[in-house]
Structure 1
């Protein structure tokens, strides 16, 4: 179970960010509170996705076999994709 959470960690971060942004924007509309929540959620999710990508990339070097190497590679790619997706979703709300 832990391997699946590691493999899909980036996608889970992206999902939490996506639903958090849309919940905040639906309830609070364009208030200052919605922008603060968007900024905080984006920063936290970027940190988590970046950490996941870095941890996966670093784990590739010390993988004892090909399966573990593959798991770390997928986790690193998942974290990197989540980082870009969170940045893409959060940036417009922060620029306005």
Structure 2
């Protein structure tokens, strides 16, 4: 199970990011204006935290010891998932920045 969590960790962080931004936007809509600067800064900070977690996961996988075929496959899956997650997080954060 730990191997699957490691391989899909980036995608799980992306899913948590999506849910977190949705909840932040909903809370900003209820308690203040959706265009309020404080809500945007909180969303940007949350997105940067998620990007840092994805980068940390990818760097740990790239430095993971082992040279057998199974470890190499897990490494490729994890890094590819982290790359997809990073692109998704940036794409979801873009409306907050502009």
TM-score by length of 2: 0.85
Runs (4 or more) in structure 1 with deviation over 4 Å come to none
Give the superposed CA RMSD.
1.4
Aligned length: 93
**Structure 2: tracts of 5 or more residues without a match:** none
Decide which of 51, 66, 69 is 1:66's aligned counterpart: 69
Asked if the contact 1:38/1:94 (under 8 Å) is kept, the reply is no
Q: TM-score under structure 1 normalisation?
A: 0.86
The reply to whether residue 56 of structure 1 matches residue 91 of structure 2 is no
Q: Give the corresponding residue for 1:81.
A: 84
Gaps of 5+ in 1: none
More RCO (CA 8 Å, sep 6+) = 2
Hey, what does 2:43 align to over in structure 1?
38
Report the Cα offset of residue 57 of structure 1. Answer: 3.0
